[in-house]
Structures are given as structure tokens and as C-alpha cells.
Copies of this chain bind each other. A is one copy, B any other.
């Protein structure tokens, strides 16, 4: 079941470095792309960073709308995650092409992806210089959600047989999030 995540703990959804899907919408158009280059930036107000290349259709939608969502996929979505990172929403409707179902966000117009295990609804904090120079976007997290079977009370827990987040390296090669352990 999807449950709201307390905003000051939203960083924990990304703290372990999962690859995400960035969804966006503007003026009736929607798109989705993959982004391994993301990270938390602050606890409260919760902020995140993500790299969105100038050549992408997502970039146009994010700059026009001032919003994006980060969706945390599991292994069952890895093929779609890799595929949507390898083509442009200028040319095709990626949601139709890969049968990606969505549901409405609470605070933004970008759709959220069914089948993911966490979601962060973000508003762009405009920083034109780093957007232009480095394709680097800063977002404030307005709402965060997680699948309660794998994230609850502020913690991920991935029991055997449950979905886990994934970490892309290159060329469609991923690692699953592995075993949990306590330091010391």
C-alpha cells in the first residue's frame, strides 16, 4: 500500500543511491526518463538534485512546468527503466510504448508511475546558472510516498521475495540493493 512519507525523512528514499525514473508533464504532454544521477540535497525542507540533459524532452517539460517527480523502480521495471533512458519522448509516447500505468500526484501535475516502490513530488528551485552549465536541477520535495511493504516508519526493509530498488551502472547492467547490515 502507498503511504505518505514524512518530508524530513524523504531523503532516506534516495540516500542509498537508487536509479530513479523522472516523470514530467506540461500542457497536456507527459514524459518519463531514467536518471542514475540523483541524490538528496537537504533534510528540511527536503531537497534533491537530479541531472537532466539539455537534449531530453523531459528537460523541456521540467523547465516549462517547474516540476518533476522521482519514481523509484524495482527490478521488474528495470527493462522499462533502461528502455526509456535510451529513446526520446519527442519521438514516441513512452507510457504507451512500455505499457507504463500512472496515477495522479498530490502536489504536482507530473504523473507518478505504478509499479514503483517510492515517489517524490518535486518543485524546481530555479538556479539558472547550474541548469544551463551543468544540466543540474534542484528540487524541493513537496510530497513523498513509499510502498509500505518495503518502506515503513522511515526505513527501507527488503525481506526476501519483496521488491528492491535498483542501481544502474552502464549499458543495461544493474545491481539490486543488497543485504542490510549495521555498522560496528
Q: Are A181 and B78 in contact, with the CB atoms below 8 A?
A: yes
Interface flag for A3 (CB, 8 Å)? no
Interface flag for A41 (CB, 8 Å)? yes
Q: How close is A135's CB to chain B, nearest CB, in angstroms?
A: 8
Closest to A85 in B: B183
Q: How close is A174's CB to chain B, nearest CB, in angstroms?
A: 6
Cα–Cα distance between A183 and B81 once the two chains are bound (Å)? 8
Count residues on chain A whose CB falls below 8 Å from chain B CBs. 50
Q: Are B129 and A82 in contact, with the CB atoms below 8 A?
A: no
The CB with the most chain B CB atoms within 10 A, among A16, A38, A82, A176, is that of A16
Known contacts A17-B167, A47-B134, A38 near B39 by CB under 8 Å: yes
Interface flag for A28 (CB, 8 Å)? no
Q: How close is A136's CB to chain B, nearest CB, in angstroms?
A: 7
Cβ of A182: which chain B residues have Cβ within 8 Å of it? 172-174
Q: Are B183 and A170 in contact, with the CB atoms below 8 A?
A: no
Q: Are A177 and B184 in contact, with the CB atoms below 8 A?
A: no
Contact sample, A vs B, 7 pairs, CB 8 Å cutoff: A12-B170, A16-B19, A17-B39, A129-B129, A130-B130, A136-B138, A173-B183
Q: Give A121-163 as 1s and 0s: 1 = Cβ < 8 Å from B's Cβ atoms.
A: 0000001011000101010000000000000001110100000
